[in-house]
Amino acid sequence: MPLTTQSLKLTAQSPKPKMNKKELLKLIIKKQSFLCVGLDTDITLIPQHLLKYPDPVFEFNKAIIDATIDLAVAYKPNLAFYESMGLSGWASLEKTMKYLNQFKGQVFTIADAKRGDIGNTSKMYAKAFFEHLDFDSVTVAPYMGEDSVKPFLEYKDKWVILLGLTSNKGSNDFQFLETGNGKLYEQVITKAQQWGTPDQLMFVVGATHPEAFKHIRRLAPDYFYLVPGVGAQGGDVQQICQNGLSSECGLLINSARNIIYASKGEDFAQAAQESARKTVGEMANYLSLFSKG
């Protein structure tokens, strides 16, 4: 049964107990969208009139969330933008997550942290993001192997989003190296499926590698991909959808700068909404490919 267009009005609700793949797909169907909004909030780029507030970063994030919450399935704060500001940045992140967590079950939250360390350190990272901040997921670097990833996977109804094939130019330095058994990124994606199921593990696959999506979909047919690199980095929604969609959608397409910095004036939230709506509109042609299962 194909999707039908539905209007959506969000109100704060009690937290839902889980956000597994089935629940995530329901959310995509309900919102008619698989858009992730990246909250890469740089205090030097936000509208100047917000600087009068005690916490301008949070005021900016809250306005962006309010303007796009009917359109976005997920939000992805990039931790570097908050950590670089010290204690005040961490406080802004905490307030942003407290605000987002009012809508638990209605949005999927991603800590773009790219952590990856020995097991006991990863355990503390997992505690910070999954317990203290209550993110639904966290991005993790796979370089140190299974024991550095497992502590994140031990949390019920939480997700690891493992770096697979990234969107940056430097991805060519290592990720495409031949191992004798395929390219390095192929080995990462294949091996990691032994660690986590499609209900708890996703892969980062950069939009700047559209030619690789069909191949990666064959390697990991049942997994979701978080797709950065759309917009400012040159990735194309149409190409990604044509090559990367699965029968259960299987994509969260992230856009940050094109949405949150669509305007630097007092109309920034409205401009963000219009930019998000345009991106969701590009996805509309592909929504009928999924079913309610």
pTM of the model as a whole: 0.91
pLDDT digits (tens, 9 = 90+) for 203-262: 999 988 888 999 999 999 999 999 997 766 667 888 899 999 998 999 999 999 999 999
Could you tell me the two tokens for 270?
Answer: 């409205």
Cβ neighbours of 199 (radius 10 Å): 17
Q: Which three-class secondary structure state does DSSP give residue 107?
A: strand
Cβ neighbours of 211 (radius 10 Å): 8
Q: Which three-class secondary structure state does DSSP give residue 227?
A: strand
pLDDT digits (tens, 9 = 90+) for 37-48: 999 999 999 999
Q: Indicate the helix (H) or strand (E) that contains 140.
A: strand 137-140
Are the beta carbons of 69 and 10 closer than 8 angstroms?
A: yes
- pLDDT class of 289 with cuts at 50, 70, 90: low
Strands 201-205 and 108-115: unpaired
Q: What residue ranges define each of the domains in the chain, with the CATH number in brackets?
A: 21-287 (3.20.20.70)
| pLDDT of amino acid 232 | 61
| Distance from C-alpha of 124 to C-alpha of 278, rounded to nearest angstrom | 39
Q: Check pLDDT > 60 for residue 7.
A: no
Could you tell me the two tokens for 234?
Answer: 């040159």
- pLDDT class of 2 with cuts at 50, 70, 90: very low
The mean per-residue pLDDT over the stretch 281-292 comes to 74
Annotated catalytic residue, options 18, 26, 95, 114:
114
Q: Check pLDDT > 50 for residue 10.
A: no
Could you tell me the two tokens for 110?
Answer: 């991603």
pLDDT digits (tens, 9 = 90+) for 141-192: 999 999 999 999 999 999 999 999 998 889 989 999 999 989 999 999 999 9
Q: Check pLDDT > 70 for residue 276.
A: yes
| Distance from C-alpha of 114 to C-alpha of 128, rounded to nearest angstrom | 13
| Distance from C-alpha of 136 to C-alpha of 117, rounded to nearest angstrom | 20
Say how many residues make up the chain.
Answer: 293
pLDDT digits (tens, 9 = 90+) for 192-209: 999 999 999 999 999 888
114 is catalytic: yes
| pLDDT of amino acid 5 | 34
Which long-range contacts does 99-102 make (Cβ < 8 Å, 24+ apart)?
A: 99/58, 99/61, 99/62, 99/65, 100/65, 100/75, 101/15, 101/134, 102/12, 102/13
Residue 138: beta bridge partners?
111, 160
